Amino acid sequence: MEQLHQRQPGITRRALARGRDAAGRSSYALLAELVTPGSRVLDLGCGDGVLLELVASRGGVGVGIDCSAAELALARQAGATVVRAEAAALPLRAGSFDLVLSHLAFSVMDDAEAVVAQIDRVLAAPGCFAAVVGGGPALPASTGRQPDRQSGGEPDRQDQPTEDGFEVFLSLLGEALTGRARCRLGDRRAGRPEGWRELWHARGYQVTWERHEIDLSGTLDEVWLTLASAYDMTLLSPEQTQGLARRFAEECGRRFAERIPVTMVVWRAMAERG
Ligand SMILES: C[S@@+](CC[C@H](N)C(=O)[O-])C[C@H]1O[C@@H](n2cnc3c(N)ncnc32)[C@H](O)[C@@H]1O
């Protein structure tokens, strides 16, 4: 992960900032809309500072932390206040933030207990932590496709046309990675509601999870930029990456018109004290 952000800082913004939910919000805006004017906001795993820009536009006073020097250099260039730090060891005063946010970062962090303890420490009462978690395809729910009842599992992908470019991509990436270990990032509890309850209830926080579908449809180039930002892509050689890009383009050409449908599910997960 570190290498990817070092080599391609700003990759998450390029991949996701254009996406919108049914109400016209980006996945970043799902967090930014919680900011009230004058509130002190910490962005945990801020990357190139895209969320901090939205925080400032809503009158919040934002600070970002991230462990990637290359990401932070971009954030500083854009005028953000950022600190290079590990989320599990924040060099920040206790009770110095009203809100802690994290966009697709909390769930890739190791040692969730230590990170949660730090968030709890830097939050002033009452205190709220909100994160965007997720990144899976929306099928079959959003297309109304039913699971295959006979096998009780997923629909048979060979018999039914796949209707989302995300599914096409994942199936091709799965083939390219056959027999190889995937990137295992973060503490498993940080990516699921029962894990959040385990982590936060003990500290007196209430947990809520809200599902959002983000439309990331676009041209082949746009959609590839989004999907190829997956951390598992770092496991492929440049030749394998080119091969996958070629096969993805062929499959999309067969299945879709110029605009390739891609829908990503994200969760707005919140832990609120009080
Ligand atoms: C998927 S990127 C998201 C970046 C940004 N939040 C965004 O959505 O555009 C995850 C970010 O978390 C940072 N990160 C991962 N683990 C971290 C840790 N333990 N402490 C601080 N930053 C971390 C990475 O360097 C990276 O910038």
Atom of ligand 1 nearest to the CA of 132: 8
Binding site membership of 107 for ligand 1 (Cβ less than 6 Å): no
pLDDT at 158 over 60: no
96-107, pLDDT tens digit by residue? 999 999 999 999
Q: What is the pLDDT of residue 98?
A: 98
Q: Reply yes or no on whether the pLDDT at 274 is more than 90.
A: no
Section 29-52 average pLDDT: 98
Please check the confidence at residue 268 and state whether its pLDDT lies above 70. Answer: yes
Question: Is residue 50 in contact with ligand 1, taking CB distance under 6 Å?
Answer: yes
User: For residue 89, is pLDDT > 90?
Assistant: yes
Separation of CA 148 and ligand 1 centre (Å): 37
Report CA(108)–ligand 1 centroid distance (Å). Answer: 7
Residue whose CB lies within 8 A of the most ligand 1 atoms, among 8, 66, 100, for a mutation test: 66
The CA–CA distances, whole Å, from 249 to 134, 169, 239, 261 equal 25, 10, 15, 13
Q: State the closest ligand 1 atom to the C-alpha of 115, by its place in the atom list counted from 1.
A: 19
Whether the CB of 13 sits within 6 Å of ligand 1: yes
160-214 pLDDT, tens per residue? 555 899 999 999 999 999 877 777 788 889 999 999 999 999 999 999 999 999 9
Is 55 a pocket residue for ligand 1 (Cβ < 6 Å)? no
| Superfamily covering domain 2-273 | Vaccinia Virus protein VP39 (3.40.50.150)
Evaluate: CB of 12 within 6 angstroms of ligand 1: yes
Digit-coded pLDDT (tens) for 194-205: 999 999 999 999
User: What percentage of the chain has pLDDT greater than the value 90?
Assistant: 78
The reported pLDDT for the residue numbered 150 is 33
> Lowest-pLDDT range, 17-21, 61-65, 162-166, 228-232?
162-166
Ligand 1 near 187 CB (within 6 A): no
Confidence tier at 5 by pLDDT (50, 70, 90): confident
Residue nearest (by alpha carbon) to ligand 1 atom 17? 109
Full-model pTM: 0.90
Per-residue model confidence (pLDDT) at position 162: 54
All structural domains of the chain with their residue ranges: 2-273
Q: Which of 3, 12, 100 to mutate to test the pocket of ligand 1 (most atoms within 8 A of CB)?
A: 12
Q: Is the pLDDT of residue 85 over 70?
A: yes
Q: How far, in Å, from the CA of 152 to the mean position of ligand 1? A: 37
